[in-house]
């Protein structure tokens, strides 16, 4: 890639030129935001040429392309990463310095596109980065939500949610493609007619929503490829039905407008908990219909109308079941619009669709009421019915008489549409996101299908892009690594392994440690800027950052902090290396228990702060509004990574990988990708505790688990739990956490007591933490573990993940 485009002086000139042309301002007059916009625009200019070229090249090349369909893309800010991918950070840093602008002044001005809840959305974003860098033709497809995931405020000891109006000042990175606007149809009636000996189905009296694509660039690192992330905005076709309006039918005159106005309005703040909302169904269909219409149009322009060629030219990746209706929509388009018969359409569809499962939590499995689907998408429902009929026929041949098994595998059963069964039965590939998760979906979640078509099932362990999660967010560590082992790791992250011998090099360890300490100071500054708080960089940083969910067991962490507090208060000789427990987590709006856990953590933080003795050793910090930018600031500063989910529940985890890469040591259960992290890092460099997935499954099946026994036997647990509700935490209203307490010991709403085994795993967790404290005192020992973790993290780069997807599933050139 020619880097001459980025001479310092040309960059300076173009920044000044932008300020003048866009805002009529000199550098002195410009606000920070205007400077940000000018700098970003100069980068965009550089991206544009490559973007156009990539499209042209792909058109000429005639190769296969992957469409990555995802209801979430948690992108995070893009300016710095784009500069990095263009290999322009150095030139820009020089230019900015001469203009007396610092990255820090302008980076914070960029609104963060938070178009995702957590892991699944962030994974999609990391995938875009690696796809472009590996020079693979791909288009990401999602919705251009006007409001991203809510902004979290912590006030009065609890979470409140505020809208995330990220587009209010526009978005430099997006380009509307008006030539690709398509219509998406909802509701209506299906009629059939005979035409040339075929039955042709038509939808009439439907409601139309227009889908307008806005593309954002995904810039490959150090290569010319720029792929597109296509985000669809919903728009009403007619601003007003003038006929209805003049007849006085005001409500119906704006009917279409209403649906169009809400579809791309807001991202659902649901993570691992499914709610069958009509609007959500409309969002899903809107995304897949618009994306597939575009994909077919593009195919036709490149290859004509021999649709049998489609599986050689396009693969659609279904990121969890949310875009699963892509299967049915492709059937509809091929039959109703392109005139294919059922068998042909289905054969093509089955060869084009690949599905990844991201969770085995029962409450996350998508099921739509049949009558809802029938009303909103009548033609889609018809196709589903026929697809289900044919599937059940096949299943009946295979499992004669086994009604229950067949009902369990069917797409339609008991009045519901089972999205996972749709995806598993109609895709050519089904994959899990870690080894353990892959095993669980085969042996359990999709057992019957795995028996029938074992070869369809694979697992591909998740990853994270080491460009954002090491090079960009931890530049000092990146520089130290390059100094030690050269820069091969940048292109081949598994070469980080060459760092391994340096764990025995005292001067290297020393420098590693200085960088960690520096990163803690940087984080403290960040915190001051963001929520007017500081954190002592001399403390050990013990970090648990992820969506708030019972299975992730932030409650276990909190309970342990509570016990530590009591140890300090009860024993004047108690000592430990000072530790700050740092949380970052949003709880879904309606998830009462999750919100209660936040209250518990914040109450502990207050309790500790009131004790001069406790706060010398122990602190609790809750980072407000956890998002990608906060992660970029905190992860490089972390010492200990909490990955403590109930074994068998966390499909993979990716925060665990980011923390490992930045030299944090993991304390965790053998769950998700922790299993592979522990193999990579080695048993001496990770703190494992608790039951494994097999034990959890067994104890759950037995149904004999009795947390009350643990409560009675373990004084530390008993004391902490009692204090939860005796006014120690909330003197004015001791009962606030009553239901948390009650759930742990008795269960609630028919649920079992301590359903996620917090008390059961507490003992080994607490011992593991004691070992952490002991080891942390031995600086050299600890640093060796930290360096080993960074050195062995290369496997967890999405460059490896994407190469695996390509080899096992997509087969792009
Ligand atoms: C329909 C409600 C709903 C919404 C989101 C159900 C499920 C989800 C996602 C699947 C939740 C999610 O983000 N899952 C996470 O995906 C990551 C990427 O594979 C994994 O690393 C995490 O373990 C998994 O929890």
The overall average pLDDT reported for the chain is 96
What's the whole-number mean pLDDT along residues 531-538? 96
Q: What are 301-334's pLDDT values in tens digits? A: 999 999 999 999 999 999 999 999 999 999 999 9
Please state the separation of Cα 571 from the chain's center in Å.
43
Task: From the CA of 433, give the closest atom in ligand 1.
Answer: 19
Annotated active-site residue 798? The verdict is no
Task: Kindly give the number of the ligand 1 atom that is closest to the alpha carbon of 72.
Answer: 5
Q: Which ligand 1 atom lies nearest to the CA of residue 116?
A: 13
Sign of the four-CA dihedral 435, 440, 446, 448: positive
Q: Which atom of ligand 1 is nearest to the CA of 118?
A: 13
Distance 358 CA to ligand 1 centre (A): 5
Q: What is the pLDDT of residues 235-253, one digit of tens each?
A: 998 666 666 667 767 666 6
Closest C-alpha residue for ligand 1 atom 5: 271
514 within 8 A of 786, measured Cβ to Cβ? no
pLDDT given for residue 260 in this prediction? 85
Residue 214, beta-bridge partner list: 176, 231
pLDDT at 377 over 50: yes
* Stretch 423-430: mean pLDDT: 98
Residue of 461, 654, 669, 801 marked active site: 654
Measured CA to CA, the distance from residue 586 to residue 152 in angstroms comes to 7
Task: Report which protein residue has its CA nearest ligand 1's atom 1.
Answer: 274
Distance 673 CA to ligand 1 centre (A): 14
Q: Which residue is associated with the tokens 């409309």? A: 282
- Is residue 658 annotated as a catalytic residue, yes or no? yes
Alpha carbons within 13 A on the beta-carbon side of 207? 23
Note the pLDDT of residue 250. Answer: 63
| Six token digits for residue 285 | 């269909």
Range with the lowest mean pLDDT among 80-94, 188-202, 269-283, 339-353? Answer: 269-283
Please answer whether residues 463 and 798 qualify as being in contact, where contact means their C-beta atoms are separated by less than 8 angstroms: yes
Of the candidates 442, 456, 546, 553, the residue annotated as catalytic is 546
Q: Two tokens at 497? A: 């392994």
Q: What percent of the chain has pLDDT over 90?
A: 94
Q: How far is the CA of 555 from the centre of ligand 1 (A)?
A: 20
Give per-residue pLDDT as tens, 439-496. Answer: 999 999 999 999 999 999 999 999 999 999 999 999 999 999 999 999 999 999 999 9
* pTM exceeds 0.85: yes
Catalytic residue among 516, 552, 553, 785: 552
Does residue 750 surpass a pLDDT of 90? no
342-345-347-352 Cα dihedral, nearest 10 degrees:
-150
Residue that is written with structure tokens 């739990």 in the block: 721
* 654 counts as catalytic: yes
pLDDT computed for residue 244 by the predictor: 66
In the residue annotation, 552 being an active-site residue is answered as: yes
Residue of 284, 503, 520, 658 marked catalytic: 658
Residue 295 corresponds to which tokens in the numbers above? 């994909």
Distances (CA, A) of 443 to 28, 450, 651, 771: 65, 8, 14, 35
Q: Is the pLDDT of residue 2 over 50?
A: no
116, 287, 320: residue to mutate for ligand 1 pocket, most atoms within 8 A of CB: 320
Q: Are 652 and 433 in contact (CB under 8 A)?
A: yes
693 three-class SS: helix
- For residue 119, how many other CB atoms are within 10 A of its CB? 25
CA atoms within 13 A on the CB side of 550: 18
Amino acid 252: pLDDT: 66
**Whole-number pLDDT of residue 274:** 80
DSSP for 551-563 reads: GGTHHHHHHHHHH
CA 813, CA 60: separation in Å to the nearest integer?
14
pLDDT at 197 (0 to 100): 87
Report how far ligand 1's centroid is from the alpha carbon of 357 (Å). 9
User: Does the structure show a pLDDT above 50 at 4?
Assistant: no
**pLDDT more than 70, % of the chain:** 97
Q: Catalytic: which of 144, 230, 466, 547?
A: 547
Q: What is the mean pLDDT of residues 495-515?
A: 98
The answer on pLDDT for 107 being more than 80 is yes
Query: Is residue 178 a contact partner of residue 217, using CB atoms and an 8 Å limit?
Result: no
How is residue 231 annotated by DSSP? E
Residue 561 has pLDDT above 60, yes or no: yes
Residue 646 Cα, ligand 1 centroid: separation in angstroms?
15
What's the whole-number mean pLDDT along residues 796-802?
98
Task: Give 221 Cα–ligand 1 centroid separation in angstroms.
Answer: 27
Mean pLDDT of 553-569: 98
Q: How do beta strands 138-143 and 65-69 pair? A: parallel
**How far, in Å, from the CA of 271 to the mean position of ligand 1?**
6
- For CA atoms 417, 423, 425, 430, give the dihedral sign: negative
Task: Tokens for 331, please give them.
Answer: 């059937």
Ligand 1 binding residues, C-beta < 6 A = 117-120, 123, 270-274, 320, 358-359, 364, 366, 433, 462, 650-654, 672
pLDDT at 735 over 80: yes
Ligand 1 atom closest to Cα of residue 273: 2
Q: Report how far residue 441's alpha carbon sits from residue 418's, in angstroms, rounded to the nearest whole number.
A: 16
The number of CA neighbours under 13 Å toward the Cβ of 684 is 7
CA 231 – CA 359 distance, rounded (Å): 25
CA distance 130 to 124: 10
| Radius of gyration of the CA atoms of the chain, in A | 27
What are the tokens at 69?
Answer: 């369909």
Rounded CA separation 455/459 (Å): 11
Backbone angles phi, psi at 354, to 5 degrees: -130, 145
The pLDDT tens digits of the residues spanning 268-295 come to 998 888 887 999 999 999 999 999 999 9
Query: What are the DSSP E strand ranges found in 274-329?
Result: 314-319
Q: What average pLDDT score do residues 124-151 get? A: 98
pLDDT in tens, 150-202: 999 999 999 999 999 999 999 999 999 999 999 999 999 999 999 988 999 99
């Amino acid at each position: 890639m020619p880097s001459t485009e980025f001479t310092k002086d040309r960059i300076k000139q173009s920044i000044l030129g932008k300020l003048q042309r866009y805002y009529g301002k000199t550098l002195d007059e410009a606000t920070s935001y205007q400077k940000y916009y000018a700098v970003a625009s100069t980068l965009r200019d550089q991206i544009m040429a490559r973007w156009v070229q990539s499209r042209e090249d792909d058109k000429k090349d005639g190769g296969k392309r992957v469409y990555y369909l995802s209801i979430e893309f948690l992108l995070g800010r893009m300016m710095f990463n784009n500069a990095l991918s263009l290999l322009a950070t150095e030139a820009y840093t020089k230019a900015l310095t001469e203009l007396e602008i610092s990255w820090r002044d302008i980076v914070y001005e960029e609104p963060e596109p938070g178009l995702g809840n957590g892991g699944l959305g962030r994974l999609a974003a990391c995938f875009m980065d690696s796809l472009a860098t590996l020079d693979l033709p791909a288009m990401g497809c999602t919705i251009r939500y006007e409001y991203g995931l809510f902004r979290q405020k912590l006030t009065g000891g609890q979470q409140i949610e505020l809208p995330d109006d990220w587009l209010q000042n526009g978005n430099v990175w997006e380009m509307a493609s008006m030539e690709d606007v398509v219509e998406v149809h909802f509701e209506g009636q299906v009629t059939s007619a005979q035409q040339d000996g075929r039955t042709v189905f038509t939808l009439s009296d439907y409601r139309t929503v227009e889908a307008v694509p806005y593309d954002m660039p995904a810039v490959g690192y150090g290569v010319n490829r720029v792929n597109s992330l296509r985000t669809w905005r919903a728009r009403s076709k007619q601003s007003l039905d003038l006929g209805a309006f003049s007849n006085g039918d005001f409500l119906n005159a704006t009917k279409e407008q209403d649906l169009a106005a809400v579809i791309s309005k807001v991202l659902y703040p649901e993570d691992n908990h499914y709610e069958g909302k009509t609007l959500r169904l409309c969002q899903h269909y809107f995304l897949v219909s618009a994306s597939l219409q575009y994909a077919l149009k593009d195919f036709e322009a490149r290859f004509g109308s021999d649709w049998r060629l489609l599986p050689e030219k396009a693969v659609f990746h279904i990121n969890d079941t949310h875009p699963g209706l892509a299967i049915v929509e492709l059937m509809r388009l091929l039959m109703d619009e392109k005139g294919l018969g059922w068998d042909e359409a289905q054969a093509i569809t089955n060869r084009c669709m690949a599905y990844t499962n991201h969770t085995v939590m029962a409450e996350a499995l998508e099921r739509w009421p049949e009558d809802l689907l029938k009303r909103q998408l009548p033609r889609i429902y018809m196709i589903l019915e026929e697809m289900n009929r044919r599937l059940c026929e096949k299943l009946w041949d295979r499992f004669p008489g086994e009604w229950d098994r067949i009902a369990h595998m069917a797409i339609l059963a008991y009045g519901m549409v089972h999205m996972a069964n749709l995806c598993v039965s109609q895709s050519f590939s089904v994959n899990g996101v870690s080894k353990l998760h892959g095993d669980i979906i085969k042996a359990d979640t999709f057992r019957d299908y795995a028996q029938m078509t074992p070869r369809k099932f694979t697992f591909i362990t998740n990853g994270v892009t080491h460009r954002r999660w090491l090079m960009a967010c931890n530049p000092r560590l990146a520089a130290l690594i390059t100094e030690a082992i050269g820069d091969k790791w940048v292109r081949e992250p598994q070469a980080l392994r060459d760092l391994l011998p340096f764990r025995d090099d005292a001067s290297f360890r020393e420098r590693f440690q200085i960088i960690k300490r520096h990163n803690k100071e940087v984080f403290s500054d960040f915190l001051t800027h963001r929520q007017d708080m500081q954190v002592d960089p001399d403390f050990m940083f013990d970090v648990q950052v992820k969506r708030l969910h019972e299975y992730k067991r932030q409650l276990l962490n909190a309970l342990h902090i509570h016990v530590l507090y009591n140890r300090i208060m009860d024993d004047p000789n108690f000592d430990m290396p000072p530790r700050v427990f740092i949380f970052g987590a949003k709880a879904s709006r309606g998830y009462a228990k999750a919100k209660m856990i936040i209250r518990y953590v914040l109450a502990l933080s207050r309790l500790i702060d009131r004790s001069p003795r406790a706060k010398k050793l122990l602190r609790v910090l809750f980072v407000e509004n956890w998002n990608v930018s906060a992660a970029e600031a905190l992860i490089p500063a972390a010492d200990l990574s909490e990955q403590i989910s109930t074994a068998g529940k966390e499909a993979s985890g990716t925060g665990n990988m980011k923390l490992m890469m930045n030299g944090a040591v993991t304390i965790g259960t053998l769950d998700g990708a922790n299993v592979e992290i522990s193999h990579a890092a080695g048993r001496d460099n990770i703190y494992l505790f608790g039951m494994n997935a097999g034990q959890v499954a067994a104890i759950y099946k037995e149904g004999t688990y009795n947390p009350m026994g643990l409560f009675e036997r373990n004084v530390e647990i008993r004391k902490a739990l009692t204090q939860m509700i005796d006014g120690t935490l909330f003197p004015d209203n001791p009962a606030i956490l009553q239901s948390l307490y009650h759930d742990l010991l008795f269960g609630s709403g028919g649920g079992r007591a301590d359903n996620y085994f917090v008390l059961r795993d507490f003992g080994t967790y607490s011992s593991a933490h004691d070992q952490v404290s002991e080891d942390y005192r031995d600086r050299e020992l600890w640093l060796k573990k930290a360096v080993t973790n960074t050195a062995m993290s290369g496997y967890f780069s999405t460059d490896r993940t994407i190469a695996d997807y390509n080899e096992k599933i997509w087969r792009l050139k």
